[in-house]
Each structure stands twice: as structure tokens, then as C-alpha cells.
Amino acid sequence: MARRFRGESHHKVDSKGRVSIPALFRRVLEAGDPDWKEGLRPQLVIVYGDHRRKFLECYTIEAIDEVDRRIDAMPRGSMPRRMLERLIHGQSYPTEVDGDGRLVLPQKLRDKIGLKGEAFFIASGDTFQIWKPETYESEELARTEAWLDELPEDFDPLSLLDGAEASGA
């Protein structure tokens, strides 16, 4: 099984759009790039998606290859395939980690999510997301807290895994 992104952190974004990637995230990007070796820069793909998406989703090469394989398996010319090709292939930005462990986010991507002085990174398994901190807190965090508030005090989130298929089993 591929290594997973874990954790969350805040990082400054400079005027050129450079932002440091959490060190543990860089190790996962290296492990998820089949062409990476010491001395090379790990590659990744940033999917910025449609007008409703308020964050940037960063995929390792292995993770985006899996998505690509699944899209390729869909019937050619079908509307779902065409839409996924547009949303995943068309609205994405292939890039690499620079020599200082940073991403350089183009102005278009920063403008899309309103990113200015600080970025919030949060792990999402085989991807990680980059948010404007205020948007994450007001929307995503608020949604999670509201969902949890509807559940009993003794609710164990791991109980959601009951009955789930174990991958690779």
C-alpha cells in the first residue's frame, strides 16, 4: 500500500506564490512518484476543478495515475467520461516540488481559492488539499463539526468502517 498523507499545517505564501510543503507530505510525494530518486524533484498534479471547488487537491503521480486508469476504463465518448476528463485532466496543473521543498502556485490557482498570505494544508489519504484558511474554517471545519454535533456523545467515528470492504483482502 502506498504511503498516506497525514496531518495539517499552515504555511506562508509569498508574493510569487511559493509555499513550503509540509516535510512529511514531501516524503509521500517522493514515494508516490515512480520516477523519483535522490537528487530529483518529486512530481505531482494539482487539480483545481470546477467553479464549486474551493480548494486545490494535490495528487501523487501514483494517485493521479489510478484516477486516470479509472477514467480510461469508462466508455469512450460517454458524458461521464467526458466530464471527468474535463474536470480532472483539463482543470489540473502538473508541477514539481522545487529545490527548497516548495510549490509555486500560479496566480490563476491562487485567485481561484482566494489564497493570499497563508495556506492551510490538510491530508486526505492519497491526496492533500490546500485551502485558504478562513474558507476551510468557515465551510469544511464547520460542516464536520455540525455533522459530529448531530451524533451521540459516545459516537466512535471508526464505527463507520464496520462492514467496509478491506482493500487488497
Task: Report pTM.
Answer: 0.88
**HSE (CB half, 13 Å, CA atoms) of 145?**
7
- In whole angstroms, give the CA distance from residue 42 to residue 39: 9
- Can you give the pLDDT at residue 148? 86
Q: What is the pLDDT of residue 2?
A: 58
What residue segments make up the domains of the chain, in order of their start?
8-153
Question: How high is the pLDDT of residue 3?
Answer: 84
Mean pLDDT in each 10-residue stretch from start to end of the chain (169 residues)?
85 96 95 93 94 94 96 96 95 96 96 96 95 92 86 87 65
CATH topology of domain 8-153: Chemotaxis protein chec (3.40.1550)
CA angle 27, 22, 60 (to 5 degrees): 50
> Which pLDDT score is estimated for 84?
95
What pLDDT was estimated at residue 168? 45
Mean residue pLDDT of the chain comes to 92
pLDDT at res. 142: 82
